Structure 1
Amino acid sequence: MATDLMDRLKILADGAKYDVSCSSSGSSRANSNGGIGSAASTGICHTWTSDGRCVSLLKILMTNRCIYDCAYCINRRSNDVQRVTLSPAEVAELTIGFYRRNYIEGLFLSTGVVRSADYTMELLIQAVRTLREQYRFNGYIHLKLVPGADPLLVQQAGLWADRVSVNLELPTRESLQLLAPDKSRDAVIQPMRQVSNLIVTNRAERKQSRKVPSFAPAGQSTQLIVGATGESDRQIVTLSEQLYQRLDLKRVYYSAFIPTVADTRLPARPEAPLRREHRLYQADWLLRYYGFSAHELLDEASPNLDSELDPKTGWALRHLELFPLEINRASYEELLRVPGVGVRSAQRIIQARRQGHLGIDDLTRLGIVMKRARYFITARGRYVGEIKLENSSLRSRLVDGPKQKRPVQLSLDLEQPVVDETASLITGEL
């Protein structure tokens, strides 16, 4: 590869690091005769897969040139940065080159907007189409959609990519107008609605005939910047819930605001704490897998998540009248509300109870985090919490320790490890 090409690659990879919506699951595509690579249904993401494997994507911008002047964006029109571009052919060549060297397992392709939304979208489609048709690449591709692009281009993009995404960026129409006046909320939402409808239609068509090509088989995702404007966690979590329910999004990603450029429109405050980002991911997990609703986690009296307690523990302390639960009688839905009991451990409890009543000593082997769960459960009537169920006495015992550092990834030069500014990893049972 030419030095000039590698220099551009480093600039465009660095410019893409602020987009965190780069992981995926749900896409499965076997390799074909003469093809290259495959997509695994277990999931592929920038740092970790759902089964714990560490994998990587080539995560780049096609260009950091942009006609927009968003206050929070390092690549905005008025910012003085070196502008570079990769052609669609170069994007395809780089992806295949890195894949053949076993550096990556797929591509995450985003871009600044040049000339117009349609022109930019055509370039992105040309790049991924070259990968699919010329190089016969069957691996995972995540493609950004450009707000305002023609619906026909949006439809084409979903036929070539595994996952597509449009970033909402800011939680409210007013915030978007303030910090990104060149963009409109409707231009962002419209392709999201279109993709949602096309996915539903495609699923129905594929039930009739497997010959129908898949449309965005890994679904769509979006990103919200946290802390650039004054929205509460309640507003953000409620918006995420609506996106999951109305548009069937696979993921909403949260990115703590990082002041990369100076602008009078931006808040006169330090960057948003990573712990707030982490709590939002935990609340998001509860929405998607634990049966919680946004109004249960946050209300007018408590509009922001507790920085010291995970959201499920905070909810449990506000509803101590429901505890302790007898582990041998509680329903699956009730078990999911117990701090320290996750989806897998709740399933194991239900299964193990068919063989006989469970005792306290059995619970750790089933994956329950007894450090938290002990205060909220009994087993065969036995309670081992040691203290009364009172908010004031429990809180100090349940406060989180220091937050773990973010995962580490390799930089493109494959020599210096750097902290991944986009990764947020939720570990353990909530």
Structure 2
Amino acid sequence: MSFERIKEKLNILADAAKYDVSCSSSGSKRTNTNKGLGDSSGMGICHSYSEDGRCISLLKILLTNYCIFDCAYCVTRKSSDIKRAAFKIQEVVDLTINFYRRNYIEGLFLSSGIFKSPDYTMERLVAVAKKLRLEENFNGYIHLKSIPGASDELMREAGLYADRLSVNIEVPTISGLKLLAPDKKHEDFTKPMLKVKNEIIQYKAEKKIIKSTPKYAPAGQSTQMIIGATGESDRDIMYSATHYYKNYNMKRVYYSGYVPVAEDSRLPAIGTQVPMLRENRLYQTDWLLRFYGFNVTEILNDIHPNLDMDIDPKLSWALRNLEHFPVDVNRADKRMLARVPGLGMKSVHKIIHARRFRKLNWEHLKKIGVALNRAKYFMVCDSNQWERRDMEAQKIKGLILRNSVGKFRKEYSNQLQLFN
């Protein structure tokens, strides 16, 4: 096949893959010990920047954008009037190897529309990964998008060659799925998830006994939800995410704002797009649940079904629960320190370590990196320079927002001066 045709396919199928945001990853370590090509480092592959500032990327494509389903929210649905294309298995293998040799990529993220059947599609995805591993001796990162409805046998084989597997749950609720994708069943998504979860548990158990046990999806599994396509509240979305973290041992749940792709009475009108800020607030909430010890019911419940758009969820919780504050940074336990707005977990650990040697004051906290413009309203320390006054939640919120705007304007002004 001509280079021009391959290039055309790449343009079509890379563009179609952009709607899937669940392509970043971490936790896999596939060391190159057999003089093969590449390796997957322990800090993981992502599609933008790593923790040490390196720009690293994946070849992110669909195997095909043909699909037998007609999901209302999907740009590749069978009723869409779009240009269609499909890669052959060897073409994807060759692209991956050639791009890697040219230092364009460090791994592959491969998804696909469903053509013929879920198993037929999944077989081809697995075949790509298998060829890369066994024939090309490729040790770089591979993320395979599992196909809903694929058999247990194929899911097991996929995990032997891929670093991470993911099945997109697509719509947060079962009722939403029935409305927008009536051809699909909820169990088509959860069955592969359960298989991967059980295989990972089995692998870890066998690894303790037999060191040579083949790796199985060492970076775990993830999923993605489309938000804003139906009327789910933020509470519905985060309760659903919590369910998948708890019951399927998800490494990550991704939240993708719905992008209008077609006129459909079941969907928001063309031109109405989910604000990026809503995605950001959901990710912040996700972070609080996974790393800060919050329970989802503390942040979202019947009284507060949606997140505040003007302030972050931790500050919102603190303002609703002022009876827990102020906390004494020299005495409070790790759990309460983590709930102070302006304190990240790194700062919490630094405080706990530093206060073993002396009592901390505002100057110490500033050097540690605490965001005092928020934190000072919720804690006290060994200093009389500023003590929390009895303020109502709305007044504290107003002061924080005003200081934040002022800080932004100052930083923006300083940046402008650099160019004048």
Q: Which bracket does the TM-score occupy, shorter chain normalised?
A: over 0.9
Identity, % of aligned positions: 50
Q: CA deviation at 1:386?
A: 6.3
Distance 1:151 1:93 in 2: 28
Per-residue CA shift, 1:249-279, capped at 9, x if unaligned?
0000000111012222212371111111110
Does structure 1 retain, via aligned residues, the 8 Å contact 2:326–2:388? no
Kindly tell me: are residues 385 and 170 of structure 1, through their superposed partners in 2, closer, same or farther at Cα, counting changes over 3 Å? farther
- CA shift, 1:398, in A, is 2.6
Offset of 1:10 from its aligned partner? Answer: 1.0
Aligned to 2:222: 221
Moved more, 347-356 or 305-314: 347-356
For residues 339-418 of structure 1, the aligned pairs below 5 Å read 339-380=341-382, 382=384, 384=386, 387-399=389-401
* Whole-Å separation in 2 of the counterparts to 1:243 and 1:383: 46
Q: State the alpha-carbon separation in 1 of the partners of residues 39 and 22 from structure 2.
A: 21
SS of structure 2 residue aligned to 1:17: helix
CA distance 1:53–1:203, change in 2 (3 Å):
same
State the match for 1:257 in structure 2: 258
Post-superposition CA distance 1:137-167 (Å, at most 9, x none): 1011100111111110010001100000000
**Whole-angstrom distance in 2 between the partners of 1:233 and 1:54:** 32
Of 302, 311, 317, 1:309 maps to 311
Match of 1:247 in 2: 248
Query: What residue in structure 1 maps to residue 78 of structure 2?
Result: 77
Counting only pairs closer than 5 Å after superposition, residues 22-421 of structure 1 correspond to structure 2 as 22-268=23-269, 270-380=272-382, 382=384, 384=386, 387-399=389-401
Q: What amino acid sits opposite 2:346 in the alignment?
A: R
- TM-score w.r.t. length of structure 1: 0.91
CA contact (8 A) 1:326 1:381 kept: no
C-alpha spacing 1:200/1:58, structure 2 compared with 1 (3 Å): same
Amino acid at match of 1:207: K
SS at structure 1 position matched to 2:247: helix
What SS does structure 1 have at the residue aligned with 2:19?
coil
Question: 1: CA distance between counterparts of 2:194 and 2:367?
Answer: 44
Say if 2:260 and 2:268, in contact at 8 Å, map to a contact too. no
- Deviation of 1:199 (Å): 0.7
1:239 Cα deviation after fit: 1.1
Query: In structure 2, do the counterparts of structure 1 residues 339 and 62 end up closer, same or farther at CA, with 3 Å as the change threshold?
Result: same
User: Which residue identity is paired with 1:336?
Assistant: A
Larger radius of gyration: 2
After TM superposition, give the deviation of residue 379 of structure 1 in Å. 0.9
Q: Conserved in 2, the CA contact under 8 Å of 1:374 and 1:383?
A: no
Contact between 1:325 and 1:377, CA under 8 Å: does it hold in 2?
A: yes
What amino acid is the match of 1:199?
I
Superposed CA offset, 1:23-67 (max 9, x none):
101000111232000011112111133444321111000000000
Distance in structure 1 (CA, Å) of the matches to 2:201 and 2:385: 48
- Alignment-derived partner of residue 407 in structure 1: none
Count of aligned residue pairs for this structure pair: 403
| Partner deviation per Cα, 1:345-381 (whole Å, 9 max, x = no partner) | 1011111111111111001221211111111111126
CA contact (8 A) 1:118 1:148 kept: yes
Aligned partners of 1:169 and 1:227: how far apart in 2?
11
C-alpha distance in 2 between matches for 1:180 and 1:3: 35
Q: 1:85 to 1:172 in 2, by over 3 A?
A: same
SS at match of 1:221: strand
Q: Contact between 2:30 and 2:139, CA under 8 Å: does it hold in 1? A: yes
Residue 355 of structure 1 aligns to a residue in which SS?
Answer: coil
User: How far apart are the structure 1 equivalents of 2:162 and 2:292?
Assistant: 30
Deviation sequence 1:175-196 (CA, Å, 0-9, x none): 1011111111011011111111
Tell me the equivalent position of 1:6. 7
TM-score (norm 2): 0.93
1:166 and 1:99 map into 2 onto residues whose CA distance is 26
The one-letter amino acid paired with 2:231 is G
Query: Do the aligned partners of residues 362 and 148 (structure 1) sit closer, same or farther apart at CA in structure 2, a change above 3 Å counting?
Result: same
Which whole-Å CA distance do the structure 2 matches of 1:383 and 1:105 have between them? Answer: 51
Q: Counterparts of 1:249 and 1:19 in 2: how far apart (Å)?
A: 17
Instruction: Assess if the C-alpha contact under 8 Å between 1:360 and 1:382 holds in 2.
Output: no
Residues 192-211 of structure 1: CA distance to partner in whole angstroms, max 9, x if unpaired? 11111111111111111120
- Contact 1:376/1:385 (8 A) holds in 2: no
Structure 1 distance, partners of 2:254, 2:208, is: 30
Greater RCO, CA 8 A, separation 6+: 1
Distance in 1 between residues matched to 2:223 and 2:386, nearest whole Å: 43
CA–CA separation in structure 2 for the residues paired with 1:14 and 1:353: 52
Matches of 2:367 and 2:231 in 1, distance apart? 44
Deviations 1:323-352 (A, max 9, x none): 111110011111100001011110111111
Task: Using the TM superposition, give the Cα deviation of residue 383 of structure 1 relative to its aligned residue in structure 2, in angstroms.
Answer: 6.4
The residue type equivalent to 1:82 in the other structure is K
Please list every run of 5 or more consecutive structure 1 residues that lacks an aligned counterpart in the other structure: 405-430
| SS of structure 1 residue aligned to 2:355 | helix
Partner Cα separation in structure 1 for residue 54 and residue 380 of structure 2: 36
Amino acid at match of 1:6: K
Deviations 1:50-93 (A, max 9, x none): 44432111100000000010101110000011110111111111
Is contact 2:378–2:388 with CA below 8 Å preserved after alignment?
no
CA contact (8 A) 2:259 2:273 kept: yes
